[in-house]
Amino acid sequence: MEFVFRQVDDSCPGMQFAMQLISEVAGVARCIGTAFSVAPGLAITAAHVVDDYLLTGDSSGNPVGPPLIAIQLFEGKMLQWVVDAIYGSVACDVAFLRFLRPAWWGTEPGQVNPRCARLSFNPPSLGDELRMFGFPLSQVEGSVLYSSPSECICRVSRVDLKTDLPLGLRPLSHVDVDGKLLPGMSGGPCFDKDWNVVGVNSKGWDGLDLAHVALLWPAMKIPIDLFKSGKFPAIDLFKDGPAQAVGYRRLYVTSKGESRLAKVDPGSLVPIRFYGRDEDMSMALNFAASNAQDALAGLRATVARSISGTEPLDTNALCAMPVTTFGN
């Protein structure tokens, strides 16, 4: 299958990573959405863009259905990737696409090694400026791909780290932005001001300046088999090396396969230092230990009164106690 890009401006920064997803059914090619490269041989898109493949794929992630390819324009060259495995999550609305290694990829003469986007697991804050990028309203006519990149500069109007949304209104963890998400931009990257990808374009509404951007961290628990040597949680790929993500220290995957996100990046914490006499340090430590003991004693007394039936459990008091928590 050969294509020629038309109406494309490759000077846009988002074009360095973005890909046009094309599915071929009965010899007819159609554009189904956008994806973006995150590591050599691996891309991310929205799960709903590849729903048909996720529903019919086997346990190893091998897609069952029509051929799925990704077209990328890099340094004036049109690059074609062939998808050979898909790993996704309906709740996160994020899916990973594994590609067959093409002959043109590499560092030898005549080969190219396209850039990969840098991910950020730090959720945006209210009012942050973001950029949604993708290929809206693309189409294939014969062997010509008519595709125009588009970006929407928007601001975060709501941050929702976990919400039990009705079936079909995914993703669970997302941010709302005041911008238009056009058809075909789903699955594309959403950048912060430093061009880190903070989320995946997920859902838009006709006639409204409102869109959902799926956050990345819940999807890092998805098992992928990038090297065809066994599955591992996706987060393992973004801890070290060139694919290292911003804020990766905040995230870990439990033994039960659940993603957890710390409220702050542990790497940003500054150790407390005491200056002065040794007895000053001893006094401070004793004070902290005393407070902890008092809090524990109060908790025990509250639970004991509840168990004995003396008084009902005061959940407001428990919620007011200072604790270290993690989101899910």
- Provide mean pLDDT across the span 111-138: 95
State the pLDDT confidence band at 324, using cuts at 50, 70 and 90: very low
Mean pLDDT computed over 70-98: 91
Mean pLDDT value of segment 25-38: 91
Q: Which CATH number fits domain 4-102+116-215: 3.40.50.2000, 2.40.50.140, 2.40.10.120, 2.160.10.10?
A: 2.40.10.120
Sole residue written with tokens 């393992």? 236
Find, among 156, 186, 139, the residue nearest to 28 by Cα: 139
SS3 of residue 91 by DSSP: coil
Q: Which tens digit of pLDDT belongs to each residue from 188-223? A: 999 999 999 999 999 998 888 999 999 999 999 999
Q: Which residue has the higher pLDDT, 41 or 73?
A: 41
Exposure class string for 164-189: b at 16+ Cβ within 10 A, else e: eeeeeebbbbbbbbebbbbebbbbbb
pLDDT band at 316 (very low <50, low <70, confident <90, very high): low
**pLDDT at position 259 over 50:** yes
- Domain spans in the chain, listed from the N-terminal domain onward: 4-102+116-215, 278-327
Contacts of 78 (CB under 8 A, 6+ apart): 3, 4, 5, 71, 72
pLDDT tens digits, 90-107: 889 999 999 999 999 999
Mean pLDDT of the chain: 83
pLDDT in tens, 263-307: 888 777 666 555 555 555 555 555 555 556 656 666 677 776 767
Where helices occur in the chain by DSSP H, the ranges are 51-56, 278-308, 315-320
